[in-house]
C-alpha cells in the first residue's frame, strides 16, 4: 500500500511538462467526427421516412391499365375494379375488403376461387347474413356495377330463404352508426325467385327497407343479372339490369349521405346459400374525355355494346358520353381526321378517364 505525501492541496491532475493539461486537450478531428455523426443521424432520419413511406404504400383498388401506343392516361376515373376472374387468397382480399355480418362465427364465409367472389352462409335457423364491404368509399358522382348471381335453382321448397344483395351504403356508418342504403337483391324462396330494388334506413342493425321496385316472384326468374346503380343518396336512384334501365326516380327522400361503400352480401335462413359476384367496378359517372385531337376530329369509342361518338372542340377535346352500364370496359377508339382514321384497339377505359392522344 502507498500513500501520498502531499495530498492536501495539489490539483488531482497536474499540468504536464509541456504546459498543457493533457486531460483537457481537445482531440484532433473531434469536431469533424461530431459533424460526421450528425450527418449520419440525418441520413438515418431520411432513410427512416423513405422506408416508412415505401412500406405503407397500400395496394391499389383498381389494377393498372395498359394503353395502346399513342394513348396516355392523364386521369383515371376508375375507383374500384375487381373482376374476380383469378383466384385470390382471402388474406389478399382483406387488404381491400372487410368480411363481417350478423351471422355467427363460422357461419359466414368468403372465397375468391377464380369464378367470382362467393359470399356464403352455412345453414342456420335464424335470418342472418355475411358480407364483403369495400374499405374504399366513393360517391356521390359514381356508378356501381357487379354481375350478381344467386344459386341457379331457387331454394326454399323445404322452407328456407336466401338472398343475394348488392347494397350501396352511406360510409357515415363508421361515425354515426346509421345504416342507410340502397339495395338490389335477388330473393329466393318457396322454390321461386325475384329481383327487388329498395331503400333502407336504420341504426346499427335491423334496417327497415322501403321496396321501390320488384319483379313478380316466379320459378323461372333469372339467377344472374349485370346490375348497375347510380344514386346521389338523397333524391335520385337509377338501376340498370344489363343495358336496360329498370328503375329511375329523382324525387326520393333517402337521407343516405355520400360517400358510399359497396356491400357484396348474402342473407339466408334454414339453407346454405351462396351469392356470387363478378366484374365488380366503381367508376366516375362522367364521360370519357379524349384530348390532343385536332379541332373537328371525329372520335368514336366502340364499347362492344354500342358506339359512342363525339367531335373534338377548339381545345382538341372530345367528350364521349358512355352509358352508365358500359362505363367500364374494353373497346376500340377511333380518331378520324382529314388524313384518315387512327384506331386504338383494346383500350381499357372507364368513366371519368382523360386520355391523351400522343404522336400525331
Partner 1 sequence: MTTSTVPNTEAGELGLHIAARTVVGRCPAPLNAVEVAVVLETCGYTATRARALGSDGLNALAERVFALVPLYSSSLSRQAMAPVALPSRPPGPVDLARGLAYSSPWLVSLATLLIAGVSFWSSNIAIPSIADAVTLATAVALLVTGPFIQAFGRRASFYIGLGDQGMLVRITRWTLELGLVVTSLACVALYLVRNGALQAGTPATARLGLAAGISIAALQLGLAAFYVRRAFLSIGVIVGLGAAVLIWLVIRSGSYLDPTTLIVWQVRLVALMAAVCLVATAWWLLRIDSSAPAPLWRPSGSALLRAVAPYGLYGLAFFAIVVIPQLVSGGLLDGRYDFNAPFAMTSGVAIVVLVPLLAQTVAATEHLLSRQFPAWLSRFTVAQTGEFRNEVLRYWRAQLGLLGALGVVAGAAVIVGTPRLGAEFPILEDLHRHPGLLAACTVGYLLLGTGLFCSQLLFALSAPMRPLAAAWAGCLALVTASIAAAWSGPAVSAVVGLVAGAGVYALVAVALAHRAFAHADLTYYRTL
Report the run of H or E that residue 174 belongs to, with start and end: helix 173-176
Encoded one letter per residue, x for contact with partner 1 by CB under 8 A and - for no contact, window 131-160 reads ----xxx-----------------------
Residue 294 CB partners (closer than 8 Å, separation 6+): 312, 316, 337, 360
CB of 260 to partner 1, least distance (A): 9
- Compute the distance between CA of residue 46 and CA of residue 54 in angstroms, rounded to an integer: 12
Nearer to partner 1, 170 or 231 (CB): 170
- Compute the distance between CA of residue 69 and CA of residue 71 in angstroms, rounded to an integer: 6
> Interior CA angle at 228 toward 251 and 280, to 5°?
140
> Pick from 138, 160, 136, 165: which is nearest to 149 by CA?
165
Question: Please, how many CA atoms are within 13 Å of residue 187, restricted to the half-sphere of its CB?
Answer: 17
- Binding residues for partner 1, total number by CB under 8 A: 54
- Note whether 121 and 103 are within 8 A (CB): yes
- Compute the distance between CA of residue 245 and CA of residue 237 in angstroms, rounded to an integer: 11
Identify the DSSP state of 322: -
Nearer to partner 1, 103 or 357 (CB): 103
The dihedral region occupied by 338, where left means phi > 0, alpha psi between -120 and 50, and beta the remainder, is: alpha
Considering only residues 42 to 81 of the shown chain, the ones binding partner 1 according to CB under 8 A are 42, 44-46, 48-49, 51-53, 55-56, 58-59
CB of 165 to partner 1, least distance (A): 21
Nearer to partner 1, 176 or 358 (CB): 176
Binding segment for partner 1 (CB under 8 A), chosen from 86-94, 181-189, 310-318, 338-346, is 86-94
Nearer to partner 1, 30 or 69 (CB): 30
Considering only residues 237 to 276 of the shown chain, the ones binding partner 1 according to CB under 8 A are 257, 259, 261
Residue 7 lies near partner 1 (rule: CB under 8 A): yes
Per CB under 8 A, residues contacting partner 1 are 1-10, 14, 22-27, 30, 33-34, 37-38, 40-42, 44-46, 48-49, 51-53, 55-56, 58-59, 91-92, 94-95, 98, 135-137, 170-172, 174-176, 257, 259, 261
Amino acid at each position: 500500500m502507498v500513500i501520498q505525501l502531499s495530498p492536501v492541496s495539489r490539483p488531482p491532475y497536474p499540468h504536464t511538462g509541456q504546459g498543457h493539461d493533457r486531460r483537457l486537450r481537445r482531440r484532433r478531428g473531434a469536431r469533424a467526427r461530431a459533424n460526421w455523426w450528425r450527418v449520419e443521424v440525418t441520413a438515418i432520419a431520411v432513410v427512416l421516412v423513405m422506408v416508412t413511406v415505401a412500406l405503407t404504400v397500400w395496394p391499389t383498388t383498381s389494377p393498372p391499365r395498359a394503353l395502346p401506343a399513342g394513348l396516355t392516361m392523364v386521369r383515371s376515373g376508375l375507383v374500384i375494379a375487381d373482376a374476380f376472374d383469378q383466384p385470390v387468397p382471402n388474406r389478399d382480399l382483406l387488404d381491400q375488403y372487410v368480411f363481417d355480418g350478423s351471422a355467427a362465427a363460422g357461419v359466414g364465409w368468403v372465397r375468391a376461387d377464380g369464378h367470382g367472389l362467393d359470399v356464403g352462409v352455412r345453414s342456420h335457423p335464424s335470418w342472418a347474413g355475411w358480407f364483403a364491404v369495400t374499405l374504399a368509399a366513393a360517391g356521390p358522382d359514381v356508378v356501381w356495377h357487379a354481375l350478381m348471381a344467386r344459386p341457379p335453382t331457387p331454394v326454399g321448397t323445404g322452407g328456407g330463404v336466401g338472398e343475394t344483395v348488392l347494397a350501396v351504403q352511406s360510409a357515415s356508418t363508421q361515425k354515426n352508426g346509421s345504416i342507410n342504403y340502397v339495395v338490389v337483391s335477388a330473393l329466393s324462396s318457396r322454390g321461386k325467385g325475384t329481383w327487388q330494388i329498395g331503400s333502407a334506413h336504420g341504426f346499427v342493425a335491423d334496417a327497415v327497407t322501403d321496396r321501390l321496385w320488384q319483379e313478380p316472384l316466379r320459378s323461372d326468374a333469372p339467377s344472374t343479372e349485370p346490375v348497375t346503380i347510380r344514386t346521389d343518396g338523397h333524391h335520385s336512384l337509377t338501376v340498370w339490369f344489363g343495358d336496360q334501365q329498370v328503375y329511375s326516380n329523382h324525387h326520393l327522400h333517402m337521407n343516405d349521405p355520400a360517400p358510399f361503400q359497396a356491400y357484396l352480401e348474402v342473407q339466408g335462413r334454414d339453407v346454405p346459400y351462396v351469392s356470387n359476384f363478378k366484374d365488380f367496378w366503381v367508376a366516375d359517372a362522367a364521360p370519357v374525355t379524349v384530348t390532343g385531337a385536332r379541332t373537328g376530329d371525329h372520335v368514336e369509342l366502340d364499347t362492344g355494346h354500342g358506339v359512342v361518338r363525339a367531335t373534338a372542340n377548339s381545345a382538341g377535346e372530345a367528350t364521349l358520353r358512355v352509358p352508365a352500364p358500359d362505363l367500364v370496359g374494353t373497346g376500340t377508339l377511333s380518331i378520324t381526321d382529314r388524313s384518315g382514321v387512327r384506331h386504338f384497339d383494346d383500350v381499357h377505359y372507364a368513366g371519368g378517364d382523360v386520355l391523351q392522344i400522343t404522336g400525331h
